[in-house]
């Protein structure tokens, strides 16, 4: 067995299962297409569950028009806040929490909630690879050779599964971002038909368009 394969197998066995709130969130968005029992969450590459980590501090956030827009490809590539390997979601130390969806759906912790959603798309791609065509090596090449694999044109009619892996995850992440911070943005209505045949965006709409709205809390990052 190669060292690379052994490393992947060891990583896939580490971490903790999804919390009750995280499971509820994932099930509402992905439905039966994501096997939540197989998902694990880890802090960085720690092979064991870590001690409970709660938000150091939170502050209420208000709606911020334009904050979700991807206007142009990014020129810089900052260190990732999280990454996914098969059924495993790894959060960097600064972003990891014991319950990322604590209080869901009455409250949402930011930016961890959007990060988790993005990475769960990659887990979904892996679990449904016969449909998505997901290949880990292709995902690596996207990050290495594309200027900004997360960038997309919201009005592009290209089918969802014909898009890049990071682009797919960015579309769902941004749709929830718009629902939270900028619900009237026209880009939200452009994204919806692209992803609505794959994910349960109606549930996102129900939660964030209701009155009263969920509490949006920003988590202080060390």
Residue-wise pLDDT for 100-134, tens only, equals 999 999 999 999 999 999 999 999 999 999 999 99
Task: Supply 120's token pair.
Answer: 């769960």
Rounded to whole angstroms, the Cα distance separating 208 from 215 reads: 10
List, for residues 53-108, the tens digit of each pLDDT value: 888 789 999 999 999 999 888 888 888 999 999 999 999 999 999 999 999 999 99
List, for residues 8-33, the tens digit of each pLDDT value: 555 555 789 999 999 999 999 999 99
Q: Residues with Cβ < 8 Å from 101, sequence gap 6 or more?
A: 19, 21, 22, 24, 25, 108, 109, 113, 116
Report whether pLDDT(47) > 70. Answer: no
Looking at residue 3, its pLDDT comes to 44
Q: Kindly report the pTM of this predicted structure.
A: 0.91
Looking at residue 188, its pLDDT comes to 96
List, for residues 151-209, the tens digit of each pLDDT value: 998 888 889 999 999 999 999 999 999 999 999 999 999 999 999 999 999 999 999 98
Looking at residue 196, its pLDDT comes to 95
Looking at residue 52, its pLDDT comes to 75
Domain region containing 32:
3-219
Report whether pLDDT(135) > 60. Answer: yes
Residue from 113, 95, 96, 114 nearest 104 by CA: 113
Mean pLDDT of 211-220: 89
- What domain count does the chain have? 1
Is residue 26 a contact partner of residue 18, using CB atoms and an 8 Å limit?
A: yes
Rounded to whole angstroms, the Cα distance separating 150 from 68 reads: 13
Rounded to whole angstroms, the Cα distance separating 44 from 89 reads: 9
């Amino acid at each position: 067995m190669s060292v690379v394969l052994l490393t992947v197998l060891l990583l896939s066995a580490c971490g903790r299962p999804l919390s009750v709130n995280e499971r509820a969130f994932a099930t509402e968005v992905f439905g039966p297409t994501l096997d939540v029992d197989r998902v694990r969450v880890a802090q960085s590459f720690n092979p064991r569950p870590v001690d409970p980590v709660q938000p150091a501090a939170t502050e209420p956030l208000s709606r911020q028009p334009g904050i979700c827009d991807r206007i142009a490809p990014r020129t810089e590539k900052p260190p990732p806040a999280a990454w996914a390997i098969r059924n495993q979601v790894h959060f960097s130390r600064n972003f990891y929490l014991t319950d990322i969806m604590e209080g869901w759906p009455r409250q949402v912790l930011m930016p961890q909630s959007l990060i988790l959603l993005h990475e769960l798309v990659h887990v979904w791609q892996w679990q449904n690879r016969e449909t998505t065509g997901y290949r880990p090596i292709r995902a690596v090449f996207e990050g290495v050779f594309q200027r900004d694999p997360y960038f997309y044109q919201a009005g592009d009619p290209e089918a969802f599964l014909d898009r890049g892996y990071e682009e797919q995850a960015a579309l769902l992440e941004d749709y929830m971002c718009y629902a939270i911070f900028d619900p009237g943005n026209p880009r939200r209505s452009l994204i919806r038909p692209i992803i609505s045949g794959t994910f349960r965006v109606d549930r996102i709409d129900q939660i964030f368009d209701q009155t009263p709205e969920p509490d949006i809390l920003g988590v202080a990052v060390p």
